[in-house]
């Protein structure tokens, strides 16, 4: 699978580490959230069958984080 | 039971779905079939349908590496996996089908001081839970598995091992067919090519499922869909802390008997056994990214074969015949989610991740109890969804033996 690094171009996926979903927002006021909300932030992530917005880091290259949209069925990548 | 079971033409009916059932189980893999069997056997509930999108046991049940063991660290896991192992020990007789269950021993190799501490701790934890576990010196490892390479010249020399002699393998297809046949005999409808496309909800209560073969009403709906659990849960607005990843496996060509136990190595990362037919069956870590593609990255295969050849130089001339991947449902603590949901009459069994096969009878047993009584069996009380609010996780990443 080729991952398009925005700075280095297409590289093989072994050069990258996966960061999972790009749709995880840190609670705006972490001191005030209850256990359930906190648990959701820590443990629950989107797991779509189809297009998924996700984070990758080019660990063996420029070491920069970026987001992309990848289809979890075809592995087709579209930069975002 | 010396001879493998003959293959009759038909092991189960192929019925049209009825309009109403007491229980609809979504997912016709090992766990779904075992759940249906134990619903009928233990609870007398036979007005049951198992809905399968494809063909019975064609997902992870057809793709796993069939390792069976119960040497998990924590009391909660030890209890549920040991319950399952005890069921395996009489399952051929119970189902009247030789499932080729072979307690040939599961050997976990140890390559580092950290490994050794974790392994010895787990041996002691297992023994306190009444589970057979042994620490082996390198010489004892060699005596138990003579083809293993004890050389100190390799990158990660073997410095010991742990052994569960009651662990082993079984023939996955036979297991599924045996459960399916018995469930069918007791009146369970096994409905293939029946994909769930939505749920019939009334308020917070589920009343049935929409399928490509029409609406099927049910008093209770039990999800049992492994890697596709969140796809189903998304349809009904149920959030699950599950991520789906590919887990690859491979087989060699058929070889003469060369390996008579299961060998696993967490650190070098390969696990291998030799199937009754003769092929070496190998697996390793999951691929790193979410996927439903039932295929994985070549480098995972490359690394596991490098590990296999270092541990077993005799394998270096074997050939890879086939590789494939299954989609595993991984939970944050590498432990299953088995119990009730916030939606009335909807039950969930998922999160077995990389190790669900060994749990097939045990999971079916406790899931059937949960469905029949509307409350968890004592063994699956700790495995409810609520632990992701309370924080009472059951962290089994060490015992899971597959890199997450």
- Among chain A residues, CA nearest to B387: A39
Whether residues A74 and B293 touch (CB distance < 8 A) is answered with: yes
pLDDT of B350-399, one tens digit each? 999 999 999 999 999 999 999 999 999 999 999 999 999 999 999 998 88
List all residues 6 or more positions away from B124 whose beta carbon is below 8 Å from its beta carbon.
none
Contact state of B239 with A44 under an 8 Å Cβ cutoff: yes
Residue B6: its pLDDT value, please? 61
Task: Tell which wins on pLDDT, B138 or B268.
Answer: B138
Query: Which stretches of B65-204 are DSSP H helices?
Result: 75-89, 91-95, 113-128, 138-144, 172-185
Q: Dihedral through CA B107, CA B108, CA B113, CA B114, nearest 10? A: -150
Tell me whether residues A44 and B289 touch, CB distance under 8 A: no
Instruction: Residue B352: name the closest of B386, B392, B389, B396 by CA.
Output: B396
Asked whether the predicted pLDDT for residue B32 surpasses 70, the reply is yes
Q: How far apart are CA B317 and CA B303, in angstroms?
A: 16
Q: What residues of chain B have any CB closer than 8 angstroms to a CB in chain A? A: 228, 230-231, 234, 239-244, 288-293, 297, 299, 332, 388-391
Residue B4, pLDDT score? 60
Q: Contact A54/B390, CB-based, under 8 Å?
A: no
User: Hey, is B181 helix, strand or coil?
Assistant: helix
Burial of B176 (0-12, 13-18, 19+ CB in 10 A): buried
Q: Can you give the pLDDT at residue B404? A: 62
Question: Where do we find the tokens 């439903």?
Answer: B292
Asked if A58 reaches chain B (Cβ–Cβ under 8 Å), the answer is: no
pLDDT digits 0-9 by tens, A35-70: 999 999 999 999 999 999 999 999 999 999 999 999
Contacts of A73 in chain B (CB under 8 A): 291-293
pLDDT of residue B302: 94
pLDDT for the residue numbered B400: 76
**What does pTM read for this prediction?**
0.95
Which one of B288, B293, B391 has the shortest CB-CB distance to A18? B288
Burial of B134 (0-12, 13-18, 19+ CB in 10 A): middle
Cβ–Cβ < 8 Å for B122, B133: yes
Which residue in B229, B246, B290 has the most chain A C-beta atoms within 10 A of its own C-beta, making it the best mutation to test that interface?
B290
Question: pLDDT per residue over A20-38, tens digit each?
Answer: 999 999 999 999 999 999 9
**What pLDDT is stored for residue B134 in this prediction?**
98
- Tell me: pLDDT of B106 over 90: yes
pLDDT value of residue A19: 97
Note the pLDDT of residue B268.
Answer: 84
Cα separation, B51 vs B111, in Å, equals 44
pLDDT of residue B313 exceeding 60: yes
Counting other chains too, the contacts that B372-375 makes at CB distance below 8 Å and 24 or more residues apart are B372/B39, B372/B42, B372/B43, B372/B45, B374/B340, B375/B340
Residue B324 has pLDDT above 70, yes or no: yes
Among A47, A50, A51, A56, the strongest candidate for a mutation testing the B interface, having the largest count of B CBs within 10 A, is A47
Question: Taking a contact as any Cβ pair under 8 Å apart, which residues of chain A between 13 and 42 contact chain B?
Answer: 13-14, 17-18, 20, 35-36, 39-40, 42
B238-266 b/e with 16+ CB inside 10 Å = b? bbbbbbbbbbbbbbbeebeeebebbbbbb
Residue B1 has pLDDT above 80, yes or no: no
**Whether the Cβ atoms of residue B31 and residue B364 lie closer than 8 Å to each other:** yes
Q: Which two tokens stand for residue B371?
A: 């469905």
Q: What is the pLDDT of residues B82-96, one digit of tens each?
A: 999 999 999 999 999
Length of chain B: 404
For residue A47, what is the nearest residue in chain B, using CA coordinates?
B243
pLDDT at B3: 59
Chain B residues whose CB is inside 8 A of the A35 CB are: 389-391
- Min distance A49 CA to chain B CA atoms (Å): 6
B230 and A47 in contact by Cβ < 8 A? yes
β-bridge mates for residue B344, sequence order: B205
Work out the mean pLDDT of chain B and round it to a whole number: 95
Q: Using the predicted structure, report yes or no on whether residue A80 has a pLDDT greater than 70.
A: no
B85/B362 Cα distance (integer angstroms): 8
The tokens describing B230, both together, are 């969140």
Q: How many angstroms separate the Cα of B330 from the Cα of each of A39, B166, B226, B355?
A: 17, 26, 9, 10
How close A17 comes to chain B (CA, Å)? 8
Model confidence pLDDT, tens digit, residues B288-312: 999 999 888 999 999 999 999 999 9
Residue with token string 């409810």 = B384
Q: What is the pLDDT of residue B269?
A: 86
Q: How far lies B388's CA from each of A18, B206, B261, B300, B359, in Å?
A: 23, 23, 37, 31, 22
Judged against a pLDDT cut of 80, whether residue B129 lies above it is answered with yes
A49 contacts in chain B (CB < 8 Å): 228, 231, 244, 292
CB atoms within 10 A of CB B73: 20
> Nearest-CA residue of chain B relative to A38?
B389
Half-sphere exposure of B118 (CA within 13 A, CB side): 19
What CA–CA distance (Å, rounded) separates B391 from A67?
Answer: 30
Supply the pLDDT for residue B317.
94
First to last CA, chain A: 17
pLDDT of residue B285: 87
Nearest CA in chain A to B241: A44
Closest CA to B329 of B360, B356, B302, B351: B351
CA nearest to B298 within chain A: A1
Residue A39, min C-alpha distance to chain B (Å): 5
Counting residues of chain B whose pLDDT is more than 90, the rounded percentage is: 93
> What's the sign of the alpha-carbon dihedral A34, A39, A42, A45?
negative
Q: A33 to chain B: which residues are within 8 Å by CB?
A: none
Interface contact flag, A18 B390, Cβ < 8 Å: no
- What is residue B2's predicted lDDT score, i.e. its pLDDT? 53
Which of A13, A39, A47 minimises the CB distance to B242?
A47
Q: Do B243 and A45 touch (CB under 8 A)?
A: yes
């Amino acid at each position: 699978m080729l991952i398009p690094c925005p700075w280095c171009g297409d590289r093989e996926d072994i050069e990258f580490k996966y960061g999972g979903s790009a749709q995880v927002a840190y609670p705006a006021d972490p001191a005030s959230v209850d256990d359930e909300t906190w648990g959701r932030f820590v443990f629950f992530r989107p797991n779509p069958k189809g297009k998924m917005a996700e984070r990758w880091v080019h660990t063996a290259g420029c070491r920069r984080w970026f987001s992309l949209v990848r289809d979890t069925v075809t592995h087709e990548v579209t930069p975002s | 039971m010396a001879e493998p079971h003959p293959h009759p033409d038909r092991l189960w009916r192929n019925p049209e779905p009825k309009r109403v059932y007491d229980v609809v189980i979504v997912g016709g893999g090992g766990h779904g079939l075992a759940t249906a069997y134990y619903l009928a056997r233990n609870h007398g509930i036979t007005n049951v349908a198992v809905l399968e999108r494809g063909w019975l046991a064609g997902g992870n049940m057809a793709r796993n590496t069939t390792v069976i063991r119960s040497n998990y660290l924590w009391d909660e896991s030890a209890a549920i996996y040991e319950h399952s192992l005890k069921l395996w020990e009489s399952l051929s007789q119970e189902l009247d089908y030789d499932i080729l269950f072979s307690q040939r021993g599961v050997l976990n190799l140890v390559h580092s001081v950290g490994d050794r501490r974790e392994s010895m701790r787990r041996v002691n934890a297992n023994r306190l839970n009444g589970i057979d576990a042994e620490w082996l010196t390198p010489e004892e490892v060699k005596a138990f598995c003579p083809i293993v390479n004890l050389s100190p010249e390799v990158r990660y020399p073997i410095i010991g091992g742990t052994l569960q002699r009651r662990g082993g393998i079984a023939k996955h297809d036979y297991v599924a067919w045996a459960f399916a046949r018995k469930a069918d005999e007791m009146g369970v409808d096994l409905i293939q090519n029946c994909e769930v496309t939505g749920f019939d909800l009334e308020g917070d209560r589920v009343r049935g499922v929409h399928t490509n073969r029409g609406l099927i009403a049910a008093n209770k709906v039990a999800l049992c869909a492994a890697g596709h659990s969140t796809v189903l849960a998304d349809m009904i607005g149920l959030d699950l802390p599950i991520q789906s990843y590919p887990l690859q496996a491979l087989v060699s060509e058929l070889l003469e008997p060369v390996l008579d136990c299961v060998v696993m190595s967490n650190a070098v990362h390969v696990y291998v056994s030799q199937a009754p037919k003769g092929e070496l069956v190998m697996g390793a870590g999951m691929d790193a990214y979410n996927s439903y593609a039932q295929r994985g990255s070549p480098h995972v295969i490359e690394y596991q074969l490098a590990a296999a050849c270092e541990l077993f130089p005799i394998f270096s001339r074997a050939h890879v015949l086939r590789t494939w991947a299954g989609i595993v449902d991984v939970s944050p603590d590498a432990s299953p989610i088995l119990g009730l949901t916030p939606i009335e009459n909807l039950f969930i069994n998922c999160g077995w991740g990389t190790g669900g096969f060994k749990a097939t009878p045990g999971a079916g047993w406790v899931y059937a109890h949960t469905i029949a009584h509307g409350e968890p069996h004592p063994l699956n009380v700790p495995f409810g969804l609520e632990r992701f609010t309370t924080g009472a996780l059951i962290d089994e990443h060490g015992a899971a033996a597959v890199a997450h």
